[in-house]
Structure 1
Amino acid sequence: MGQRRHMRVAIVTGAGRGIGAAVARRLYADGWSLVLGDIDADAVTLLAAELGRDAAPVLLDVRDPVAWDHAVAIASEAGDLASLVNVAARTDIRDLFEITPEEWDDVLATNLRGPFLGIRVVGPLLRDRGDGRIVNIASDSAFRGRGVTGTHYATSKAGLLALTRRAAAALAPSGVTVNAVAPGTIDGETVRELAGERIEELASEIPAGRLGRPEEVAALVAWLLSDEAAYVNGATMLVDGGAAL
């Protein structure tokens, strides 16, 4: 990282593909310097090469506090750490009564413990800075009794909404905002793997008549990280094409 050292730095987890990669591309285009975290080191290395010298790839298992410390150290060395976007998630589709305790624990460890660990280490830095943004990528499955994703995934995302509100309340006096974005069915590798031949059926059930695009989620994240969104805090914003209607 060189020429943007005076610019703000954002950590994006789950940046290797899908919504995470779209968020990274959008933020980089908006002038952010980035730390790209993912458990797939090859994926974020390729993305960093695509974006440029002010994007640093980091092997980040969000379940691991030590990995978080490493990612934050790299971000702090790069410049002014100002934002965290928690995207990393494990998604599985399985009948409620087929989920093993081990799978349940790992999904919640990735999807809920991971953002908690990130907020736990980044939040105090933003608080001391007196400004900053945290955005958690949740899911509309948190509000639904049925859907493509598994019960453990939906449960973890519902918990993430509670974490968002509690963190927002804790950090608000310091000028730091914490918000959640809850995508609906977003087109991409993960959804196509889970839904298979049901893709067209899923699209027909959405008032917009199509699946969402990762770039549409990224656009909202970019706005929430901007100065224009300074008065938005503790909110959950749906990006679902009207599916909740």
Structure 2
Amino acid sequence: MDTRRTAVVTGAGRGIGAAVAARLHGLGHRVALLDLDADSAAARARELDGSGATAAAFTLDVRDPEAVRTVAARVSREFGVPEILVNNAARTRSRSVWDIDVAEWDDVLATNLRGGFLLTRELAPAMRDRGWGRVVNLASLAGQQGGLVAGAHYASSKAGVLVLTKVFAKELAASGVTVNAVAPAATRTPVTDELPAEQLAAAEAAIPVGRLGRAEEVADLVAYLCGENTGYITGATFDINGGLFMR
């Protein structure tokens, strides 16, 4: 049986999203790389397949419902009906709760929480009709414990992702579509590379394994949850945090 499928990864231009896209592509899936940054998504797609046959970039602002509908239709029409969705697009801001203005609060929630809601609601019905699908949402340790480094708006959005994962999992479980969340702690990405050295050192010192995570490690876990033999796993949150949060 041919188990190569069409996968959609949001925020795929860099960091964890780019690593997930590469891992899924390496497993033989056709991958649509969605990102607000058209140039970075296109560069990653070319790295995976210069011909564009098995990896292609699509520009998307996940905050925009009409754009989500339009791009979802384009992907299905031009690249294949998606059977795997990885909701990774996110905006991270480190700021005191007292200093977050309403516009920034709304923008972070719209990107990190509403984006996944819109994409899942747009793509999951076709998965349900086909009787197979995998949705993986990128949450965060911040959504489990409150903002350790990231701001309250980021932590709140990621807590919402955990609940939304369970809601969609219950709705889709009987149709062969699983919905799960992955909750990383601090992971080495372009975002962490912008942090002050002393802040990074403090973060590493707090993690029992003594280092930050790697994007490829998160990608491996996401890819596992997108596999053929994970149909009995749904509504779950998988921790990948170096022992920082044990339960």
Q: TM-score range by the shorter chain?
A: over 0.9
Corresponding residue for 1:119?
120
- The Cα of 1:82 is off from its aligned counterpart by 0.6
Structure 2 residue corresponding to 1:20, chosen from 1, 13, 17: 17
Cα separation, 2, equivalents of 1:195 and 1:30: 36
Runs of at least 5 residues in structure 2 that lack an aligned partner in the other structure: none
Tell me what 1:56 maps to.
Answer: 56
The answer (yes or no) to whether the contact 1:86–1:136 under 8 Å persists in 2 is: yes
Partner of 2:203: 202
Shift of 1:81: 1.7
1:146 shift after superposition: 4.4
Contact 2:38 2:58 in 1 (8 A): yes
The answer on whether the counterparts of 1:9 and 1:35 sit within 8 Å (CA) in structure 2 is yes
- Where does residue 72 of structure 1 map in the other structure? 72
Look up the equivalent residue of 1:17 and give its one-letter code.
R
How far does residue 6 in structure 1 lie from its aligned partner after superposition? 8.7
Counterpart of 1:234 in 2: which secondary structure? coil
CA separation in 1, counterparts of 2:42 and 2:63?
20
State the partner residue of 1:147: 148
Aligned counterparts of 2:144 and 2:161: Cα–Cα separation in 1: 12
- Verify the 8 A CA contact 2:147 2:155 in the aligned structure 1: no
**Percent identity of equivalent pairs:** 51
Inter-partner Cα distance in structure 1 for 2:242 and 2:125? 35
Partner of 1:219: 220
Contact 1:6 1:80 in 2 (8 A): no
Cα pair 2:22 2:48 within 8 Å, conserved: yes
8 Å Cα contact 1:180/1:234 also seen in 2: yes
Aligned residues of 2:146 and 2:156 also touching (Cα < 8 A)? no
Residue aligned with 1:81, SS: coil
* Contact kept in structure 1, 2:35 and 2:61, CA below 8 Å: yes
- Structure 2: which amino acid aligns with 1:231? Y
Instruction: Give SS of 1:182's match.
Output: strand
Partner of 1:177: 178
The two structures have a TM-score, normalised by structure 2, of: 0.94
Contact 2:147 2:154 survives alignment (8 Å): no
Superposition pairs of residues 228-243 of structure 1, within 5 angstroms: 228-243=229-244
Partner Cα separation in structure 2 for residue 214 and residue 146 of structure 1: 20
Aligned-partner SS, 1:136: strand
Does structure 2 conserve the Cα–Cα contact (< 8 Å) formed by 1:15 and 1:21? yes
Structure 1 residue ranges, 4+ long, deviating more than 3 angstroms after superposition: none
Q: Is the 8 A contact 1:93 1:194 kept in 2?
A: no
Distance 2:35 2:82 in 1: 18
- In structure 2, what is the equivalent of residue 44 of structure 1? 41
Indicate which of 30, 33, 42 corresponds to 1:33: 30
Aligned to 2:162: 161
**Which letter maps to 2:182?**
V
Task: Supply the RMSD in Å over aligned alpha carbons.
Answer: 1.4
**How many equivalent pairs are there?**
241
SS in 2 for 1:114: helix
